[in-house]
Structure 1
């Protein structure tokens, strides 16, 4: 997992062949002007969400990770707290892996929580189990699904 500000996004371009294109888009686009919905950026699926934040307990019900994609989650507005645990420490899968949605849920609880402010991002690799959308008020974010190299 990586947490930083969009102003430093270019520093991560060497970590994955598509990170440069993702961060070029993120830093050259008026994210506040984006409408809720799905779009594609340089072959990567992208979704803009704007929803009311939930409690940590509610978010933990969808404690998730992905096998085939890396998430770059950018907070556009609001304040968002997320739960996190290394996948190697999760022992209680909740159902089967869904290959169509590239998601596996766990019944485990996050070992830690952190908070993002507008203009910050987190990169979740397949080994990062996460519980997003924790907060009070409306959270607007953009998620880029980067295919695992």
Structure 2
């Protein structure tokens, strides 16, 4: 997991071939003007914009998740968000059928090891080994999740 500000995005280009594409998009786009929905930025780089009320930790933990095929770059566009995190190696209680290949997600029945805040202009990168519960907070949270295919 990496937590930083968008102005430092160029420091992470070397971590994945498509991070440059993702961060170039993030720093050259008026993120506040983005409409809710899903779209492709480039091959292997897609975006999901959401705009909803923050959740309690209990509600967010119902979808304590990680991915196998994608790296998430989650950007807080508006509001203040808290995210729960735990290393995947410490998560052994998968919910339901386990990994859903179609949706590239596994949900876990665990409690985060830590919570941290993300505000306007900050991002967090979640790798497949990062189990996370986003959207914890009060009031409106607008965010962009850039999914980078591994």
Q: What is the TM-score with the length of structure 1 in the denominator?
A: 0.98
Tell me what 2:88 maps to. Answer: 87
Tell me what 2:16 maps to. Answer: 16
CA distance in 1, matches of 2:58, 2:115: 12
Aligned pair count reads 148
List 4+ stretches of structure 1 deviating above 6 A: none
Aligned partner of residue 35 in structure 1, secondary structure: coil
Q: What is the TM-score with the length of structure 2 in the denominator?
A: 0.97
Tell me what 1:67 maps to. Answer: 68
Tell me what 1:40 maps to. Answer: 40
CA distance in 1, matches of 2:112, 2:95: 14
* CA deviations over 1:25-74 (Å, ceiling 9, x no partner): 00000000000111110121211000100001110110000000000000
- Which residues of structure 2 form unaligned runs of 5+? none
Tell me what 1:140 maps to. Answer: 142
- Which residues of structure 1 form unaligned runs of 5+? none
Q: How much is the aligned-residue C-alpha RMSD, in angstroms?
A: 0.5
- 1:31 aligns to 2:31 (yes or no): yes
CA distance in 2, matches of 1:58, 1:112: 16
CA distance in 2, matches of 1:147, 1:40: 12
CA distance in 2, matches of 1:101, 1:109: 22
CA distance in 1, matches of 2:26, 2:7: 10
CA distance in 2, matches of 1:100, 1:145: 14
Larger strand fraction of residues: 1
